[in-house]
């Protein structure tokens, strides 16, 4: 039964279906839960990243950290706007959305779309500036990283500009009853989705070869591979979102289909932020996992190093032996060989890791 203030549905229902305004089929609960879960995890991940950078590594915030903070603020704003959209009819079928809600819902969604386009750019720039920070200035991958930064910035600014001004006036995007016109609505979604997927893949695969060639243990390489494996899920979400674009452009049930695509947009962006933060997680765990939760898992992870440094452990327990025993020196030499990736690797944050010299390799900042 319709409420008294209802003046009509936003779209006539299909034959045999009656509009339902009081308790309609809706994606509201599932979508809000998705936003809340991801926003909670992202909040913890970003807090861990900043704490590790400032307190564990005793480093200053870099451009990559600034973009990570910006990504967090943007994803929070995006989630807030989308939850508002859900409360105004997004996630319902068009014929179940009161027509007095539609303009407001589409207005909030249009603003959320602008924020999302900016969000995807800041997430990718977080990765790219992180790569730029850890690789040596003369490493050949620097040119590819610089190209990626410029390409991501230019393409996302262009797509954002085209999206904002795709309708004249801009308000015609959410108020079709007002005088105005819009471009072909099928062009920008496909163009934006395709460029996003391409840049996602570029950011993911760019450093893999260089990271794998580092002089580090296989265990550490596998940890890096696990982080990038999680990053591949963001690429998959981007491709799924691109594949679902036709559902939005070829259907009149816009309010329902917008919600379906928004789910994958949330997964894509937030998974990217989480992966960017996980690159600093090992240093955090090396400092606080043994202290607060016991060292059983840490012992399992570090069994290879302890096998090589057993002599050092026995010598330290004897007061008449000097701290700089041969075993200690060997362990220090092992640390020097792998110190180039301290911020990415799982080295103990308490080790002294000098900046590597020379024209190749990587550097710690």
Class of domain 28-284: mainly alpha
pLDDT of residue 349: 36
pLDDT category at 355 given cuts 50, 70, 90 is very low
pLDDT digits (tens, 9 = 90+) for 192-230: 889 988 999 999 888 877 777 766 677 767 777 777 777
What angle (nearest 5°) sits at the alpha carbon of residue 30, between those of residues 29 and 34? 120
The rounded mean pLDDT for the chain is 77
pLDDT of residue 107: 93
Distance CA 250, CA 182 (A): 16
pLDDT digits (tens, 9 = 90+) for 96-152: 888 888 889 999 999 999 999 999 999 999 999 988 887 766 678 889 999 999 999
Q: Maximum CA pair distance of the chain?
A: 91
pLDDT category at 8 given cuts 50, 70, 90 is low
Handedness of CA 169, 174, 179, 180 (dihedral sign): positive
pLDDT category at 296 given cuts 50, 70, 90 is very low
Domain boundaries, the chain: 28-284
pLDDT digits (tens, 9 = 90+) for 64-99: 999 999 999 999 999 999 999 999 899 998 888 888
pLDDT digits (tens, 9 = 90+) for 156-168: 999 999 999 998 8
pLDDT of residue 250: 64
Q: Is the pLDDT score of 232 beyond 90?
A: no
pLDDT category at 290 given cuts 50, 70, 90 is low
Does residue 85 contact residue 126 with C-beta atoms inside 8 Å?
Answer: no
More confident residue, 293 or 83: 83
Distances (CA, A) of 123 to 158, 234, 275: 17, 11, 10
């Amino acid at each position: 039964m319709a409420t008294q203030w209802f003046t009509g549905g936003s779209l006539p229902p299909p034959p045999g279906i009656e509009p339902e305004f009081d308790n309609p089929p809706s994606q509201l609960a599932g979508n809000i839960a998705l936003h809340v879960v991801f926003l909670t995890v992202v909040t913890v991940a970003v807090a861990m990243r900043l704490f590790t950078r400032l307190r564990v590594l005793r480093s200053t915030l870099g451009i990559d950290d600034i973009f990570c903070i910006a990504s967090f603020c943007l994803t929070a704003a995006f989630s807030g706007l989308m939850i508002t959209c859900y409360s105004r009819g997004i996630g319902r079928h068009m014929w179940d959305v009161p027509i007095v809600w539609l303009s407001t819902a589409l207005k909030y969604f249009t603003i959320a779309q602008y924020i999302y386009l900016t969000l995807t750019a800041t997430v990718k720039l977080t990765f790219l500036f992180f790569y730029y920070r850890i690789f040596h200035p003369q490493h050949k991958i620097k040119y590819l990283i610089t190209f990626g930064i410029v390409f991501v910035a230019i393409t996302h600014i262009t797509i954002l500009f085209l999206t904002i001004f795709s309708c004249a006036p801009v308000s015609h995007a959410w108020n079709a009853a007002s005088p105005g016109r819009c471009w072909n609505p099928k062009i920008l979604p496909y163009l934006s989705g395709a460029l996003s997927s391409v840049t996602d893949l570029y950011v993911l695969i760019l450093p893999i070869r260089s990271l794998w060639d580092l002089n580090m243990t296989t265990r550490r390489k596998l940890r890096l591979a696990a982080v990038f494996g999680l990053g591949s899920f963001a690429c998959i979400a981007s491709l799924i979102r691109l594949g679902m674009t036709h559902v939005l452009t070829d259907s009149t049930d816009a309010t329902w289909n917008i919600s379906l695509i928004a789910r994958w947009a949330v997964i894509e962006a937030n998974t990217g932020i989480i992966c960017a933060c996980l690159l600093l997680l090992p240093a955090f765990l090396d400092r606080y996992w043994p202290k607060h939760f016991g060292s059983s898992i840490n012992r399992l992870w570090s069994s290879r190093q302890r096998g090589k440094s057993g002599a050092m452990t026995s010598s330290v327990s004897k007061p008449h032996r000097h701290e700089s025993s041969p075993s200690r020196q060997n362990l220090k030499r092992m640390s020097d060989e792998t110190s180039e990736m301290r911020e990415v690797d799982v080295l103990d944050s308490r080790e002294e890791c000098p900046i590597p010299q020379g024209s190749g390799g990587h550097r710690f900042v």
